[in-house]
Chains A and B, each alone.
Chain A
Amino acid sequence: MNKTDRKVLKRNPKDRLAKYGVNASLVLVSLAFVTPLAWLVFASLDRNAGVSSVVPESLTLQNYEEIMRPDVALLPIWNSLLLSFGTAFLTIFISVLAAYPLSRYKMRFNQTYLYVILFSSSLPITAIMVPVYSLFVRLGQLDSMLAVILFMSASSLPFSIWLTKNFMDSVPVSLEEAAWVDGASTATTLRRIVVPLMTPGLSVVFIFVFIQAWGNFFVPFLLLFSKEKETAAVTIFRFFGQYGEIAYGELAAFSILYALPVVSLYFVMSRSLGGSFALAGAVKG
């Protein structure tokens, strides 16, 4: 008793000092990370925002009102939605199809295919943009939203199949077998049993693909031309790529509006990630 007390006493000052140090450095890092963000938020609420403005004299939502017009922010955001939802749905659909045989059947081919997939998931997409553009020219698919969705899906597929397969692995075959005995088909069990059981996992994959498509600038920048098909990232680039007279406040408001959906999706994802881990645990247990 006495001994431990002394030990606690001896450790405390040093530990407390270390803890202060750690806390202080974390506060510094936080400050560094929050500063550029703070400008963005303040500028979006400041009608007269410039690069050098800090805290606005009066807060207003006027910047948001200004950009909430079809030709400014709404159409580009709609296009981004179209692109991201299209990509995410298509990716999920193809991933589930591909994951089933990879997860359920023992074939030598599976191992190879999984390695190919893992391999291509780490290839840098920007490296192939020049040939992709040239290929789109050859296929006559420039300025086609469908083709861009297909390309974006293909580039998300490797990672998505990999994740989907892993989630599917954790759904026990025994559940399916029971249904098969009752005369259900593979497709039925896939649709009625497997997919519902891995909904949390699939929503993670969905959100993941969606966020990637939503944030992508390079692909639509290079492959879509019409104003009517312009996505939000490209519009923002066009706004501030001009250097001249940038409406900083409106651009900041647009940026925040554009960032909101993905930030909220991250929160949803962190929830359902917890959920799918729970599922994995339940299955193992």
Chain B
Amino acid sequence: MISTRNLKRRLPILPSFLMLALFMAGPIVWALYISLTNTSLTGTAAQDSQFIGLDNYLTMLGDPDFPNAVWLTVVFVVGSAIIGQNTLGLFLAIGFRSASKAIKKTTSALVMAAWMLPEIVVAFAAYVFFNTDGTLNQILLSLGVDPIAWLFEAPMLAIVLANIWRGTAFSLLVYMAALDDVPEEITEAARIDGASSSQHLFLVTLPIIKNSINTNLMLITLQTLSVFTLVYTMTRGGPSGKSTTLPVFAYDQAFRVADIGYGAAISVVMILIGVIFSVIYLRLLRSEGDKNE
């Protein structure tokens, strides 16, 4: 049924289609395939890998490090994105509405600055900040608090805080834009009605920007799920696996332990998680679109 004209019209899409097929769909299919083999970086399996069925997935089920990595990923996403960046971004955006202009400008510039920096620079600065002799401990010391080896004793906390530092700007931008759309009259009306500021927040502001909150939560969840550089360079997943999130776990198994097949199986799980969240995200966008029409 497709006419030549339609074919020709679609042709310019083809390069993008091929790129996506080769470099996005390709690796996903490839991951499914090699996760069923014992492909390795060393030993006999490196040149002659065998089909081993679901062995890698069975190994995963029996590997205590896997639930550990899943749990740490959840802690990372919930702690740094959903609680950290999201809440801080929202409160900053709300605060900006009544803050003095100079303070608003300075704060937003500083929050944005951390966001603009390349991830490796953020990781380096955070590594120094949380170092045993680093800035944070010096501040604590001057307040009379004993220094803590953050990266060693509380690596997840350090990483979560570093990621809040790095990513809050995104939520802030989303919420500043959303709040701009909240009509001034509603705010005024609520104030005259004598609503307290917390009532005002929960009863008036949040319901109005509900869609933005949903979208923001989905986007930052997806972004945070795939953070590798920050974690890997700050702690390399250590000590003793205490900050090994899924991306670091996959890297470690594939390249340090040299077990590409197992690493690919972990990748498949991560892709599945990504797919689930993407689908939810698309649904959200769709329903939002319907409402707008």
Which residues of A pack against B, CB within 8 Å? 15, 18-19, 22-23, 25-27, 29-30, 32-37, 39-40, 43, 50-52, 54, 94-95, 97-98, 100-102, 105, 107, 109, 113, 115-120, 122-135, 150-151, 153-155, 157-158, 161, 214-215, 217-218, 222, 233, 236-237, 240-241, 248, 251-252, 255-256, 258-259, 262-263, 266
Contact = CB atoms under 8 A, between A and B. Distances in A.
Contacts of B138: 52, 54
B20 interface: yes
A274 B271 CA distance: 36
Interface in B252-288: 254-255, 260, 263-264, 266-267, 270-271, 273-275, 277-279, 281-282, 285
B215 to A, nearest CB: 11
A257 to B, nearest CB: 10
Given A19-B98, A101-B12, A107-B10, A128 B31 contact: yes
Top 7 nearest A-B pairs by Cβ distance?
A124-B226, A154-B23, A215-B118, A127-B270, A131-B31, A98-B16, A97-B12
Contacts of A94: 15-16, 19
B204 to A, nearest CB: 16
Contact of B99 (A22, A119, A135): A22
B227 interface: yes
Nearest to A239: B124
A266 B118 contact: no
16 contacts: A19-B100, A26-B96, A29-B88, A30-B107, A97-B13, A101-B13, A125-B226, A126-B270, A130-B31, A131-B28, A133-B255, A236-B120, A237-B233, A259-B121, A263-B113, A263-B116
A247 to B, nearest CB: 12
Interface string B212-223: 000000110010
A94 to B, nearest CB: 5
Main secondary structure on B side of the interface with A: helix
B229 A217 contact: yes
Contact of B117 (A102, A158, A259): A259
Contacts of B131: 51-52
Given A30-B107, A130-B250, A218 B228 contact: yes
Given A36-B129, A37-B125, A97-B15, A26 B260 contact: no
Contacts of A129: 228, 247, 250-251, 267
B106 interface: yes
Contact of B16 (A95, A124, A241): A95
Nearest to A11: B191
A236 B92 contact: no
Contacts of A98: 12-13, 15-17
Contacts of B285: 118
Contacts of A33: 107, 110-111, 113-114, 165
B107 A26 contact: yes
B227 A126 contact: yes
Contacts of B10: 101, 107, 109
A36 B128 contact: yes
Contact of B135 (A54, A252, A255): A54
A244 to B, nearest CB: 14
Interface string B123-134: 011111101011
Contacts of B118: 214-215, 217, 233, 258-259, 262
A122 B6 contact: no
B130 to A, nearest CB: 9
Nearest to B224: A124
B158 to A, nearest CB: 12
Given A36-B125, A98-B16, A151-B23, A105 B9 contact: yes
Contact of B125 (A40, A97, A116): A40
Interface in B130-165: 131, 133-136, 138-139, 165
A34 B117 CA distance: 13
B82 interface: no
Nearest to B13: A98
A154 B96 CA distance: 38
Nearest to B5: A105
Contacts of B39: 134
Contacts of A233: 118-120, 229
Contacts of A150: 19, 23
Interface in B215-246: 218-219, 222, 225-229, 233
Contacts of B19: 94, 150, 153-154, 157
Contact of A240 (B104, B112, B124, B273): B124
Contacts of A101: 9-10, 12-13
A52 B281 CA distance: 43
